[in-house]
Copies of this chain bind each other. A is one copy, B any other.
């Protein structure tokens, strides 16, 4: 399978990975969530090759995750801001962060803590069911064909002989 074909796979994970499943992209997005918006600032903070940064910003912009917003004219300069689609990646970041905190920290503990403004506590995310509110785990879930499944696969389970 080629990388460019990934967004056409009948799998939301593959499609999500076609955008964020790359070495640098999630680190660029981490900076976005830390309010970094300008080309040079991304470059300095990440130590990424300018070439690769330009490519990733373009891909994220084309994908609708970031938007280019002019912050001055003459000379025209543009910065990159998270769109609604991009902001919606926050749970992905948070979930990866929590996993890293739990499994990749040394004995001292995690390097960064996240505090919930609303309640004032240092927190992590709990992944609960949108319908019943119980915590979700791998064993309590089953998968089934969805409305966007390709016809061939659809026939297999539905109108089979």
Taking beta carbons and an 8 Å cutoff, which residues of A are in contact with B?
1, 3, 7, 10-23, 26-27, 30, 33-34, 46-48, 64, 85, 87-106, 108-119, 121, 123-134, 136-138, 140-150
Contact = CB atoms under 8 A, between A and B. Distances in A.
Contacts of A20: 96
B108 A148 contact: yes
A58 to B, nearest CB: 18
> In the assembly, how many copies of this chain are there?
2
B136 A129 contact: no
A32 to B, nearest CB: 10
Given A99-B16, A116-B140, A111 B21 contact: no
B21 A93 contact: no
A16 B127 CA distance: 18
A138 B108 contact: no
A128 to B, nearest CB: 5
Q: Top 4 nearest A-B pairs by Cβ distance? A: A12-B100, A119-B132, A16-B100, A15-B104
A118 to B, nearest CB: 5
Contacts of A111: 10-12, 145-146, 148-150
A11 B140 CA distance: 31
* Listed residue (A12, A98, A131) with the most chain B CB atoms within 10 angstroms of its CB: A12
A110 B13 contact: no
Contacts of A138: 33, 87, 90
A6 to B, nearest CB: 9
